[in-house]
Amino acid sequence: KGFDGGSSTVTVVAAYSPLQVSVYGGKDPGSFLASVAHAMIGLGPSISEILVVLSPEVMQYVNEAGWSRQQIQEFLWEKAQLPAREWIAWRRVEHPENFTDQDQLVGCVADPSRITVVAAGGAAGVYIDVIGSWGNSRSVTRKIEVRS
């Protein structure tokens, strides 16, 4: 969100309950982020924003693999799309008549920039939280000064 890596920031959002994704089976971001995309699909289509909160251990895996936040966003956006017909069959869209092409891919969010990736937490394990914003809300991030 425009802050350098040495800055301390706080991000707030009106949100639904988090979905916790445990990372099993290795350190490859393409593998464990596929599980995150699966959790995102559970939130449904047309979410205003999704926060993906990476634990320090997961952030280390991502850094070791050389993935950027933008790569994570693009990967998740691409993997968390389904054909309109599936969303309709699951009764997850409010106006199914708006989808003239049933094979059109529909994502959980409008574009990759609507996936906010943040590092947070402590040394508690290899976990990722997926948090959908409530209604049409979007997160706000501000730089903070940490006093010692």
**What residue segments make up the domains of the chain, in order of their start?**
17-135
pTM: 0.88
* Residue appearing with tokens 């574009």: 111
Q: Where are the alpha helices (DSSP H) in the chain?
A: 29-43, 56-65, 69-79, 84-89
Local confidence band at 56 (pLDDT 50, 70, 90 cut-offs) = very high
In the predicted structure, residue 36 carries a pLDDT above the cut 70:
yes
pLDDT 10s digits, 118-127: 988 888 788 9
Q: Look up residue 66 and give its two tokens.
A: 């050389």
Answer yes or no: is pLDDT of 148 > 80. no
21-35 pLDDT tens trace = 998 888 999 999 999
Contact call for residues 79 and 118 (beta carbons, < 8 A): no
Instruction: Compute the distance between CA of residue 80 and CA of residue 52 in angstroms, rounded to an integer.
Output: 13
- Reply yes or no on whether the pLDDT at 2 is more than 80: no
Cα 16 to chain center, whole Å?
13
